[in-house]
Structure 1
C-alpha cells in the first residue's frame, strides 16, 4: 500500500473561520489546502457521535488510491464516510493515535 501525506488535523474547542461542516458527524473543519503548513482545525459539537480519540487527539492524513484496501487488517476507528463530493475518508488507530485515509476521485 502506498500512502501519500495530505495534512495534519488538530482538534480544538476554539471558534475558527470554518470552511465546512459535516452534519452527520457534527464536525466543523478548516480547509487544510488553504493553510501554509497543511493544518486542518477540527471542532466537534457537544453532541457529536465521533469517538473521543478523534475529538481529542491530532491525526495525520494520507491519500490512498483505494480506501477499502487501505483499511484491510487495520483497527478501524471511524468507518468510511463522505464529507464532500468525490471524497471518502476513514480513520484507523495506529500505535494509539488516529490516522486518516482519504480517497479522492476527480
Structure 2
C-alpha cells in the first residue's frame, strides 16, 4: 500500500472563511489545496456526531489508491463516507492519533 501525503487537519473553535460544510458530520472546513502548507482547518458544531479524538486532535491525511485495502486490519475511528463528489474518506485511530485515508476518483 502506497500512502501519499495530502494534508494536515487542525481543529479550531475560531471562525474562518469556510470553504465547505459536511452536514452529516456537522463539520466546517477550509480547502487545504489553497493553503500554502496544506493545512485544513476544521470546526465541529457542538452537536457533531464525530468522535472526540476527531474533534480535539489534529490529523494527518494520506491519499490511497484503494480505501478498503488501506483499512484492512486497522482500528477504524470513522467509517467510509463521501464528503464531496468523487472523494471517499475514512479515519483510523493510529496509536491514539487520528489518521485520514482519502480515495479520489480520477
Bin the TM-score by the shorter chain. over 0.9
Distance 2:53 2:95 in 1: 12
1:30-81: CA deviation from partner (whole Å, max 9, x where unpaired): 0000000000000000010000000000000000000000000000000000
Distance 1:5 1:22 in 2: 22
Q: Which residue of structure 2 lines up, in the alignment, with residue 45 of structure 1?
A: 45
Distance 1:51 1:96 in 2: 12
Q: State TM-score, norm by structure 2.
A: 0.99
Q: State TM-score, norm by structure 1.
A: 0.99
1:25 matched to 2:25: yes
Q: Which residue of structure 2 lines up, in the alignment, with residue 104 of structure 1?
A: 104
Q: Which residue of structure 2 lines up, in the alignment, with residue 8 of structure 1?
A: 8
Distance 1:89 1:55 in 2: 16
Q: Which residue of structure 2 lines up, in the alignment, with residue 77 of structure 1?
A: 77
Q: Secondary structure at the match of 1:68?
A: helix
Distance 1:92 1:17 in 2: 28
Q: Which residue of structure 2 lines up, in the alignment, with residue 55 of structure 1?
A: 55
Q: Secondary structure at the match of 2:70?
A: helix
Structure 1 outlier segments of 4+, above 3 Å: none
Count of aligned pairs between the two proteins: 106
